Amino acid sequence: MKTEEKNIVVDRIQSLGYAYKGFVYLLKTENAIKVHAFSTVLLTTLGLFTKLNTTEWMFQFLALGLVISVEALNTCIEKTADFVQPNFDKKIGTIKDISAGAVLFSGIFGAIILGFIYIPKIIQYYS
């Protein structure tokens, strides 16, 4: 039996299309992602205003990207759990709580990173 050969370039382009579709879905349907996207725009604007250096930009986008990525994974876990068990289940609830906890964990550390970037700038601005 002959196997179908795939063109790696076409396959990657199709994969990017699926990823873009998921990205748009998240932005349209998930309020938490909308909040994170708004925060990203706001912090990017603040970064331009405060003239972040290259390292500060790198850490800011790393922190923001991590939080949004973990939020997207949390959404996947929650939707999968709801599909597997549409009725209330204590074990599913625990799984969803842990997943949400990961978002909180990444958000706390993201806020710490942003504090390292912006607190000295705020102190300098007001002194």
What CATH number belongs to 31-126?
1.10.287.3610
Residue 6's pLDDT is what? 75
Evaluate if residue 3 carries a pLDDT over 60: no
Q: Are 60 and 43 in contact (CB under 8 A)?
A: yes
Question: Domain segments of the chain: what residues?
Answer: 31-126
Residue 119's pLDDT is what? 97
Q: Span 27-55, mean pLDDT?
A: 97
Q: What's the pLDDT band for 106 if we cut at 50, 70, 90?
A: very high
* Average pLDDT for the chain: 95
Report how far residue 52's alpha carbon sits from residue 44's, in angstroms, rounded to the nearest whole number: 10
Evaluate if residue 1 carries a pLDDT over 70: no
Evaluate if residue 4 carries a pLDDT over 70: no
Evaluate if residue 33 carries a pLDDT over 90: yes
Q: Span 86-93, mean pLDDT?
A: 96
Q: Are 43 and 113 in contact (CB under 8 A)?
A: no
Q: In 3D, which of 31, 14, 15 has the Cα closest to residue 74?
A: 31
Q: Could you give the 3-state DSSP secondary structure of residue 30?
A: coil
pTM for the full model?
A: 0.87
